[in-house]
Amino acid sequence: MKDLQTIKGAVHQDLKHDSAIKQVQGRADYTDDIAEPIGTLHAYLGVSTVTHANIRGMDLSRVRAAPGVVAVLTAEDVPGVNDVSPTGKHDEPVFPTEKVEFHGQPMFAVIAETRDAARRAAELADVDYDVLPHALDPIAAEDAGMPLVTDPLKLERGDVEAGFAAAANRISGRMVVGGQDHMYLEGHIAFAIPGEDDDVVVHCSTQHPSEAQHMVAHVLGVPSNAVVVNVRRMGGGFGGKESQMNLFCAVAAIGAKKLNRPVKIRPDRDQDMTATGKRHDFVIDYDLGFDHDGRIQAVESQFAARCGYSSDLSGPVTDRALFHADNAYFYPNVRLKSRPQKTNTVSNTAFRGFGGPQGVVAAERMIEEVAYALGKDPLEVRKANFYGDAEDGRNVTPYHQTVEDNVIGRVVEELEQSADYQARRKAIIEENAKGGIIRRGLALTPVKFGISFTATWYNQAGALIHVYNDGSIHLNHGGTEMGQGLNTKVAQVVAEAFQVDFDRIKITKTTTEKVPNTSATAASSGSDLNGMAALDAAEQIKARLVKFAAESRGVSEEAVSFVPNHLRIGDEVVPFDSFIKEAYMARVQLSSAGFYKTPKIHWDRAAGKGRPFYYYAYGASCSEVSVDTLTGEYRVERTDILHDVGRSLNPILDIGQVEGAFIQGMGWLTTEELWWDEAGRLRTHAPSTYKIPLASDRPRIFNVELADWSENREMTIKRSKAVGEPPFMLGISVFEALSMAVASVADYRQCPRLDAPATPECVLMAVERLKAGA
């Protein structure tokens, strides 16, 4: 009875992503692979060719007359509300009527027999613009008196003025941190199929099917129960599909209902990059007081973000920047302010870390300032400022949450040893002192990341499990699969609960028909929330099975247990399949809906106080780079990572997440540069000019370990921790290693104050600047 011993694919085991092989072989279905019914039409967006203007008139006659064109949609064709803003601020029209507010803003949609015809026709609009002045970045926009897109946040604790007065040293500075394009492999796409009456089904690539559903309903002027949104999987989302799909879903659905034919919309890469939002870039002004030992005493900073023309998710993104402006450090006296600045650019949105990385990179810059000012190793300054515990009282965040699960000291210490940090730093300093052209840098940076949606009500999830009478299991939950392995992990939880092999469980598409009112799969909370909801559903079915087993055999319920692929009932061992058939014949309900909401969290935004996060995830990375000081070119020689995922649900998937996040974070801070010209056009709108890291850019030596001793002290799913976003910030070690290499040209006496991204040009300019100053 081999299959009695263990099940295949239980939790805490390495198990490959359930669609890995299908994806490699091209057999995994994406939205564009769905067979198109006869009569399917194709939509394409017509966009603004100026950055800010009143629309005097729009002549679309040439568009309508173009070959293959079936219809042109404008604001007049929106039957319900002309708005797809996720905030309720009504600041994001499907199609604008009076003004355009960024270059490339969608203005109308062409629907044609082929995508090519629609795309060509979209170029033919004659728009009469009354051009207005524009401001592209948060500083220019503030100077021009432009409003904020949403209310700013202030976090304050301690006595900042007294803290500064008592501090022996004080430094202020400004850091400019660039944005980032999501560069998912699969771009945006929506495919709407009209049904009878009000009905419409939309297949699309979104992290937030429920919002897409509600948005389509709202735009069509129908109740949400008329709209179904389906997502089998995404070819990457990274936050770029948390809200940005709304527009595409709306356009496809409006077209499909108007023409009563299926309509698909799929922008090309250039349009995807120009018409959809990105990571927010920030201008961060900091003022910091510290003592001679490098202990920070007071911090005051402002985080101004380029939010673009509408609010979208900029409120919670800029909030999260403040929540992470401490990273892993205790600030005794602190005041932090956000400035969610409106600009004449595409509306920026969620991107892995959701503002957190911008806060963390500023915290790390402040550490560097202290270290270079005092002539210390930045790692020493980090350690001096880490959060402490209840005993030393250094465990309260700027938002008044107590840090109860601090493991950063242990994580950093272990990595310092395993990466041989001290000896390597010494050797590098000696080598750099010889004055060669190639300089090396080494940095070890920590991360602490808060887990939970800061919008407390988002922290809920549902799941639906059916056990069919042949013993096969159908699993549905509210989360979406974007490559992160969520479906695999949730199925492992269910396999473990029923003690059946993983392959008995069918992982199905996410659909608003099965689990309603779901949250975005975001904030790294997918497996925390949906894993728990699925477990709840499984436990309900199991309880019914146990009751029936006990009754049918005349034993106590305690005598019934789930053993690998069987039930043990008293002395009897019954195969799962045959027991399920028995239960069905006895009319036991074999289907259940599960639900979960995160306990303990609360947040009062007006007061700036609460416990927004259920727990924290921690990690650290150590990177070594070499820089050519004549050209600014560099490469990452080695990276060591130790990351905390609690008790990993699936170590191999988690390591994949850590590796991918690190590389993506490194790309953000090194080569990925968004560049707008003065006219307001994004000129880096394709992989030809926008440089994500290549396989050849990965660290030459790359050691990634999970902290296998860690266990979540909170009752999360199987004591695991979220993994999706936190390791993104591990990329900061590369940025700081570059900084050290640059600093070597001036004998480490000056903080290089690199802005991000530190492209080779920027590194070269910093080298020249420091040489000139030295």
- Catalytically active residues are 725
Segment lying near ligand HPA (by CB under 6 A), choices 6-14, 39-47, 145-153, 312-320: 312-320
Q: Among the residues of 563-650, which ranges form H helices?
A: 576-585
Q: What is the token pair recorded at 231?
A: 């997502």
Give the integer Cα–Cα distance in Å for 772 and 750: 12
In angstroms, give the least distance from the CB of 483 to ligand MTE: 3
Beta bridge mates, 45: 109
| Residues 89, 177, 295, 442, Cα dihedral to 10° | 140
- Residue 456 binding ligand HPA, by CB under 6 A: no
The smaller minimum CB distance to ligand MOS, of residues 51 and 327, is found at 327
**Residue 150 CA: distances (Å) to CA of 222, 312, 338, 565, 601:** 28, 9, 10, 54, 24
- Residue 242 binding ligand MOS, by CB under 6 A: yes
526 binds, among ligand MTE, ligand HPA, ligand MOS, none (CB under 5 to 8 A by kind): ligand MTE
How many residues line the site for ligand MOS (CB under 6 A)? 10
Site string for ligand MTE, 374-413 (x = CB under 6 A): ----------------------------------------
The answer to whether residues 596 and 532 touch, using CB atoms and an 8 Å cutoff, is yes
The answer to whether residues 84 and 215 touch, using CB atoms and an 8 Å cutoff, is yes
Backbone φ, ψ for residue 616 (5° rounding):
-120, 150
- Residue 523 binding ligand MOS, by CB under 6 A: yes
The helix or strand, by DSSP H or E, that contains position 765, with its residue range, turns out to be: helix 760-773
Segment lying near ligand MOS (by CB under 6 A), choices 151-159, 347-355, 405-413, 679-687: 347-355
Segment lying near ligand HPA (by CB under 6 A), choices 425-433, 450-458, 747-755, 763-771: 450-458
Beta carbons within 8 Å of 446's beta carbon, 6+ residues apart: 327, 328, 382, 386, 408, 411, 412, 618, 619, 620
The smaller minimum CB distance to ligand MOS, of residues 110 and 350, is found at 350
Site string for ligand MTE, 234-253 (x = CB under 6 A): --xxxx--------------
- Secondary structure of residue 591 in the 3-state scheme: strand
- Residue 523 binding ligand HPA, by CB under 6 A: yes
Segment lying near ligand HPA (by CB under 6 A), choices 24-32, 253-261, 313-321, 388-396: 313-321
- Residue 527 binding ligand MTE, by CB under 6 A: yes
The smaller minimum CB distance to ligand MTE, of residues 239 and 289, is found at 239
Residue whose Cβ sits closest to ligand HPA: 523
Among 351, 596, 603, 662, binds ligand MOS (CB under 6 A): 351
Segment lying near ligand MOS (by CB under 6 A), choices 345-353, 548-556, 670-678, 694-702: 345-353
CA atoms in the 13 A half-sphere facing the CB of 696: 2
Which residues, 341 to 360, sit near ligand MTE by CB under 6 A?
A: 352
How many C-beta neighbours within 10 Å does residue 139 have?
16
Among 239, 479, 594, 727, binds ligand MOS (CB under 6 A): 239
516 preceded by cis ω (within 30°)? no
The smaller minimum CB distance to ligand MTE, of residues 119 and 233, is found at 233
- Residue 320 binding ligand HPA, by CB under 6 A: yes
453 binds, among ligand HPA, ligand MOS, ligand MTE, none (CB under 5 to 8 A by kind): ligand HPA
720 binds, among ligand HPA, ligand MOS, ligand MTE, none (CB under 5 to 8 A by kind): none
Backbone φ, ψ for residue 571 (5° rounding):
-90, -5
- Residue 352 binding ligand MOS, by CB under 6 A: yes
- Secondary structure of residue 221 in the 3-state scheme: coil
Which residues, 633 to 672, sit near ligand MTE by CB under 6 A?
A: 657, 660
Among 191, 387, 399, 453, binds ligand HPA (CB under 6 A): 453
Give the integer Cα–Cα distance in Å for 758 and 310: 28
Q: Of 245, 269, 355, which Cα lies nearest the Cα of 304?
A: 355
The smaller minimum CB distance to ligand MTE, of residues 461 and 473, is found at 461
How many residues line the site for ligand MTE (CB under 6 A)? 20
- Residue 207 binding ligand MOS, by CB under 6 A: yes
The answer to whether residues 571 and 609 touch, using CB atoms and an 8 Å cutoff, is no
- Residue 522 binding ligand HPA, by CB under 6 A: yes
- Residue 724 binding ligand MTE, by CB under 6 A: yes
In angstroms, give the least distance from the CB of 488 to ligand MTE: 10
- Secondary structure of residue 516 in the 3-state scheme: coil
Beta carbons within 8 Å of 414's beta carbon, 6+ residues apart: 642, 707
Tell me, letter by letter, the H, E, C secondary structure of 242-257: CCCHHHHHHHHHHHHH
DSSP-derived secondary structure for 725-753:
SGGGGGGHHHHHHHHHHHHGGGTT-S---
Q: Of 136, 124, 132, 58, which Cα lies nearest the Cα of 96?
A: 58
Residues in the chain: 774
Among 725, 727, 764, 766, binds ligand MTE (CB under 6 A): 725
454 binds, among ligand MTE, ligand HPA, ligand MOS, none (CB under 5 to 8 A by kind): ligand HPA
How many residues line the site for ligand HPA (CB under 6 A)? 13
Among 313, 407, 723, 740, binds ligand HPA (CB under 6 A): 313
Paired sense of beta strands 263-265 and 41-47, if any: parallel
Tell me, letter by letter, the H, E, C secondary structure of 449-496: EEECCCCHHHCEEEEEEEECCCCCEEEEECCCCCCCCHHHHHHHHHHH
In angstroms, give the least distance from the CB of 279 to ligand MTE: 10
Give the integer Cα–Cα distance in Å for 728 and 659: 9
Segment lying near ligand HPA (by CB under 6 A), choices 400-408, 454-462, 664-672, 764-772: 454-462
In angstroms, give the least distance from the CB of 239 to ligand MTE: 4
Site string for ligand MTE, 472-491 (x = CB under 6 A): ----------xxx-x-----
Q: Which residues bind ligand HPA (CB under 6 A)?
A: 242, 313, 316, 320, 350, 354, 453-455, 458, 520, 522-523
Q: Binding residues for ligand MTE, per CB under 6 A?
A: 236-239, 352, 482-484, 486, 521-527, 657, 660, 724-725
Interface positions with ligand MOS (CB under 6 A):
207, 239, 242, 350-352, 354, 522-523, 725
